[in-house]
């Protein structure tokens, strides 16, 4: 029993995706461009074994719907343990605050939960397009309490954009019958027969990726502008506070000479008298800017896979 508990508590290092689940996800993505669903299976010895999935409806997913689906699967002896979710993505648009919040909720409730992201556009261009992600423990500790990031905790904890999401290796596995079918099909294809199953346009993919990167760079520039405006507001407030304190000290010099009651002149006491002047200006959430950086990095990596490993610098 102790060995079983230890094997369950091991951190996830790999995702085994059964080919049935891969087909389910791909077929679901063929219906609508943006879809999602539940992943079912087991985690043991650091491996997340994804054995089945079911789609979420287009409208808001109710808890009753999920419970009914799990109950139905249990009745036909299919794995019904929730281990995460899947969703489609195009050119990294899954990297958003909503995505982070959803994955955080899963990991808070299911320790070894993960998400599988499928990009149909990558698949059209012959790239393996099923990727698994988890939030890092370092990021969760900083983010889960206030659901926001600040410059201070990013710098103090040396949080890099590569430490927000960790990608897990995905291995597509087949059962015996599936392996036998694939072997039979492979033997039926003559060696001289070459079929090109990739219908995608690589140039078009690169063009779209570069356009997306440009949009993300513009959004990142806007985020930096918001942060710069915040710093200007803070500096202005500090100047006003300093001026007020200096004026108060001058008043107290006069009051002391005239033997009048001295007025508060420390920041702590004055802040009670003038709360609007000494109220801390909250810094804008820094997570959107970090995610923009992460999206740019993701786009660079995908383009680099298509045109050459050393032709794009993915440093941001």
- 104-151 pLDDT per residue, tens: 999 999 999 999 999 998 888 777 889 999 999 999 999 987 888 888
For the segment 279-301, the average pLDDT, to the nearest whole number, is: 90
Predicted local confidence at residue 314, as pLDDT: 41
User: 260-264, 269-273, 296-300: which has the minimum mean pLDDT?
Assistant: 269-273
Is the pLDDT reported for residue 184 higher than 90? no
**CB distance 17 to 170 below 8 Å:** yes
Predicted local confidence at residue 311, as pLDDT: 45
Exposure on the CB side of residue 25, measured as CA atoms within 13 A = 31
For the segment 29-55, the average pLDDT, to the nearest whole number, is: 91
**CB distance 167 to 138 below 8 Å:** no
Predicted local confidence at residue 192, as pLDDT: 47
Is the pLDDT reported for residue 201 higher than 80? no
Q: How confident is the model at residue 313 (pLDDT cuts 50, 70, 90)?
A: very low
> Which residues are paired to 167 by β-bridges?
133
Predicted local confidence at residue 89, as pLDDT: 92
Per the prediction, the chain carries an average pLDDT of 84
Predicted local confidence at residue 35, as pLDDT: 92
Work out the percent of the chain whose per-residue pLDDT is above 90: 39
| Bridge pairing between strands 114-118 and 82-88 | parallel
Which of the listed ranges 46-50, 58-62, 69-73, 276-280 does the model predict with the highest average pLDDT? 46-50
Predicted local confidence at residue 6, as pLDDT: 54
The residues near 219 (Cβ < 8 Å, ≥ 6 apart) are 288, 292
Give per-residue pLDDT as tens, 80-108. Answer: 899 999 999 988 889 999 999 999 999 99
Q: How confident is the model at residue 9 (pLDDT cuts 50, 70, 90)?
A: low
């Amino acid at each position: 029993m102790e060995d079983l508990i230890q094997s369950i508590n091991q951190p996830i290092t790999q995702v085994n995706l059964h080919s049935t689940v891969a087909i389910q996800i791909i077929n679901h993505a063929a219906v609508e461009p943006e879809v999602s669903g539940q992943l079912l299976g087991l985690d043991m010895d650091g491996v997340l074994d994804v054995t089945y999935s079911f789609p979420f409806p287009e409208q808001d997913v109710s808890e009753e719907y999920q419970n009914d689906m799990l109950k139905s699967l249990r009745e036909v002896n299919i794995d019904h343990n929730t281990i995460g979710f899947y969703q489609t993505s195009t050119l990294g648009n899954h990297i958003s605050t909503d995505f982070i919040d959803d994955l955080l909720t899963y990991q808070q409730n299911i320790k070894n939960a993960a998400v599988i992201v499928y990009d149909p556009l990558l698949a059209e261009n012959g790239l393996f397009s099923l990727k698994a992600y988890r939030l890092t423990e370092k990021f969760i500790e900083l983010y889960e309490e206030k659901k926001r990031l600040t410059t201070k905790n990013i710098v103090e904890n040396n949080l890099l954009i590569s430490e927000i999401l960790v990608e897990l290796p995905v291995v597509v596995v087949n059962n015996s019958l599936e392996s036998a079918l694939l072997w039979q099909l492979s033997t039926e294809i003559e060696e001289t027969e070459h079929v090109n199953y990739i219908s995608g346009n690589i140039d078009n993919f690169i063009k779209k990726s570069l356009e997306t990167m440009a949009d993300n760079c513009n959004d990142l520039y806007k985020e930096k502008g918001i942060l710069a405006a915040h710093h200007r507001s803070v500096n202005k407030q500090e100047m006003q506070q300093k001026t007020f304190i200096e004026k108060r000290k001058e008043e107290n010099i006069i009051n002391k000479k005239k033997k009048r009651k001295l007025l508060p002149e420390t920041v702590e006491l004055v802040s009670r008298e003038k709360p609007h002047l000494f109220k801390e200006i909250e810094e804008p959430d820094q997570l959107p800017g970090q995610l923009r950086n992460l999206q740019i990095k993701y786009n660079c990596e995908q383009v680099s896979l298509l045109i050459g490993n050393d032709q794009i610098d993915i440093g941001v």
